[in-house]
Structure 1
Amino acid sequence: MSLADQVRTAVSAVTDPELRRPIGDIDMVRQITVEDGTAHVWIVLTIVGCPAAQRIEQDVRDAAASVAGITDVIVEVGVMTPFERRALTAKLRDGRAARQMPFGPDSLTRVILVTSGKGGVGKSTVTANLAVALAQQGLRVGLVDADVHGFSIPGLLGIPAGTQPTRIDDMMLPPVAHDVKAVSIGMFLREGESVVAWRGPMLHRTVKQFLTDVFFGDLDVLLIDMPPGTGDIAISIGQILPHAEVLVVTTPQPAASDVAIRSGLVARRTGQHVIGVVENMAAYTLPDGTVIDLFGSGGGAEVAKALSAPGDHGSPASEVPLLASIPLSPALRIGGDAGMPVVLDQPEDPAAHAIIELAHTIAHRGRGLAGRSLPMQLS
């Protein structure tokens, strides 16, 4: 290979941080020349003002400089033409029509709704940390903040205020934090705006747009942080994603667990499958060995028992397990306020350990194929 070809190979392997694709595969690399040890590299970005421009340019410079024999690198940066952008979005969609929901029953992506009966049980904190823990296990993870009125995912993941998805024509690329692609209504509010006062139709349209217009790419798992209760959004997502799996979050106290049962029952009525219960804010142990059960005990097990359905007409019972009991943890709370998930910052913390084990259980749990059409053809 010539020196220029070696530089092209190295530069083409650079990954676009938003698209998570090598820039050589998405036609961002143009001409490359080498003269007297100086590599001259031309690349194009998807849009003017691309938020990842500086990182891509630096990664390209570093990749070219890593080739033996290159002593200097000059990077020229341009922008794709409208025609090239249309070709790129078509390539990314892999033949799927624009605004088509990619997470239908035939999708290989596991869609998991994280729900609760009432607010204040730490559902969003659990969801954010679970998403990061799944990503740490090598899975490709997306996260939709469907709690439109009480959005908190951007802050929990440390996504700076004012960060918006990058738009490429009619396609939106979600910001990435800790290897999790996330979208929230909080990313679309105007400066100074912090309240969303919407009713049913607007809520339905917003959630649907999150699932159709946002390009997550190939995902192993899509987590959806649901609003508490069984209102408009729960009904809308039940209609859009009737095949989704459901994880119910509760605290040990009866006031929370009794209501959490309702959210699981509503999900089941739409055809969704309740895969388990997570008990948050469970008892924790002080350094002297004293156990503090501030919110009581046993609520998670009661929810799991109530949601375990007996078999009908000879069919096997559908057991809903208690998948995790997460103890109260100052580190979990501090990490949420700081935008640094505890599973990354303090993985040895008991709460972090419980969430990491939950992620491992979910990652290695099989998904039933009942009701899904498989890509098979009769010969």
Structure 2
Amino acid sequence: MDEYRSPWRTPEVEQFQETARRFWTAELIPHVERWEAQGHIDRGVWRRLGEMGFLLADLPSGYGGGDGDYAHLAALVETSAACGFGPGFGPHYIVGHYLHHYGSEAQKRRWLPGMASGDIVASIGMSEPGAGSDLQGIRTRARRDGEHYVIDGSKTFNTNGHHADLVMLAVKTDAALGAKGVSLLMVETRDLAGFRRGAPLDKIGLKAQDTVELFFDQVRVPVSSLLGTGEGQGFAQMMSQLPYERMLIGIRAVCNMERALELTLAHVHQRQAFGQSLFKLQNTRFELAEMKTEATLARLFVDQCIGWQQEGRLDAATAAMAKWWGTQKECETIDRCLQLFGGYGFMREYPIGRMFVDSRGQKIYGGANEVMKEIIARQLVPR
């Protein structure tokens, strides 16, 4: 069989990805340890990403985007995974995607060009201390008061929250309606009375990706901040757009599997045990053979899903499959690879050790994997 080539990887996308790889290597990777220590990347990184055309690459140039498609975003996710560091642009892209689909023309003109340039950093405010994957259970309220909404509540696990100029906030505009009472508000944070950010949360992994709590105490935002044509559309909007987000997680999962195997293969050929390389031990070869098979299956499935996403026909259940199965196999693969490194795998100076802790969140964010299985199960009906 000839070397496999992902069908979405056109020459133009490959060139874009190579540019991204060089940028990651020269301008991001040398600073990761410092960013991990401070809990967030430098603000200037966002403007450099914008200058390079890496922000909102899949949106139209009329709004500052790169006129690309989902393949360009997939290439960026692959680059960040292959280099072992992601600057947290996933939520930024997701907010841009929501704005492009549901925003008014005025909202698009107001925020998308700044997001594309990196002058505006976007975050998503969905999870709460008492409501994670169950978005219907959010308690943050927004009550109408004339030409404003008054917001009270808090959000947690907000990636990019430290720098965020714009937060896409899930709120209850009518608590009595359950899911039908959820709305999305676009909240500009600069000089916003009643708004504050918590300190970066001390995560076990992804330490350079800032994650904070956000607090809203009688915060007033104009009614024009509502995303969509009316109140109560937020839950349906989120359910419709979550496949876009979950595929990003699935793409990262398969790339991490491939990277873990690449690192491990190099190690077992170099490492000696019992007078021979680790690779010559049957257990090592069988472990790698099994993981290579699973990584290949994951790659083929994810590539097919990327094609369906480009065609606009990726459904929620299939995206959930890519998310839960991909991240499950990602964590299993990295764990098995770490074992082949022995004690060295437990050291943070070895990439496989960092991958072990960084990958664990993949099974949680974007909807816990248990929720993914429920989404899939709902589609299982007798024929």
Give the shorter-chain TM-score range: under 0.3
Which structure is larger by alpha-carbon Rg, 1 or 2? 1
Higher strand share: 1
Scaled by the length of structure 2, what TM-score is found? Answer: 0.23
Scaled by the length of structure 1, what TM-score is found? Answer: 0.23
Higher helix share: 2
